[in-house]
Amino acid sequence: MDDLLAGDQHALDPLERQVVAFFVDGVRVLGLPRSIGEIYGLLFISQTALSLDDLVLRLRISKGSASQGLRLLKSLGAVRETRGGAERRTYYEPAIELKRLAGGFIREQIRPHLESGKSKINRLAKTSSEIDDPERRQFVSERIERLESWIRSGGRVLPVLQKLLGQ
């Protein structure tokens, strides 16, 4: 009920809101949930490391979201923990080197799909070998060969990507 009088102590300032919005958009392109963008965005523009509670308080998201979001960001190597001295609580800082961010994304989100793609193609090849009609079998083989070449290209491109982004 103070709300009407006192502005909220924790609300984001305009710049922070703009940066958070920027990253919310950014992560959507990558297919990641909004909360990931909010969390990373606020860390990115904060001069000090923030705790889970800070994130909950300032972004007005649930503890659950913050916890899960941080877990994903950690797995991507996009945030690191800083245990502040005698502090019990964990604080988080963003990784801001593109190399690291891209590397984590490729490792965690892209490579697994390439791998599962390979095995699915193997199963496809097996299914196709049972086709009776030779003409159909031939056509399908060619298409599967095409899929394999796509995957090979992907495998070749990723390292180059990482190299180019690591500057």
Q: What is the DSSP string of 79-124?
A: EEEEE-TT-SSEEEEE---HHHHHHHHIIIIIHHHHHHHHHHHHHH
Minimum gap (Å) between residue 146 Cβ and a second copy: 6
Q: Interacting stretch for DNA, rule CB under 7 A, among 34-42, 99-107, 130-138, 150-158? A: 34-42
| CA-to-CA dists, residue 143 to 137, 149, 152, angstroms | 10, 10, 14
Q: Can you give the length of the chain in residues?
A: 167
Minimum gap (Å) between residue 135 Cβ and DNA: 27
- Residues 6+ away with beta carbon under 8 Å from 124: 144, 147
7 scored as a contact of a second copy (CB under 8 A): no
Tell me the site size for DNA, rule CB under 7 A.
Answer: 25
Q: For a second copy, what does the binding mask look like between residues 92 and 131, x meaning CB under 8 A? A: ----x-x----------xx--x--xx--xx-xx--xx--x
77: DSSP letter: T
Rounded to an integer, what distance in angstroms lies between the CA atom of residue 128 and that of residue 70?
43
Question: Of 4, 6, 29, 86, which lies in the binding site for DNA, with binding defined by CB under 7 A?
Answer: 86
- Residues 6+ away with beta carbon under 8 Å from 84: 49, 91
Contacts (CB under 7 A) with DNA, residues 12-31: 28, 31
163 scored as a contact of DNA (CB under 7 A): no
Question: Of 21, 22, 26, 61, which lies in the binding site for DNA, with binding defined by CB under 7 A?
Answer: 61
Residue 94 phi, psi (nearest 5):
-85, 145
Q: Tell me which residues touch a second copy (CB under 8 A).
A: 14-15, 18-19, 21-22, 25-26, 29-31, 44-45, 47, 96, 98, 109-110, 113, 116-117, 120-121, 123-124, 127-128, 131, 136, 139-140, 143, 146-147, 149-150, 153, 156-157, 160-161, 164-165, 167
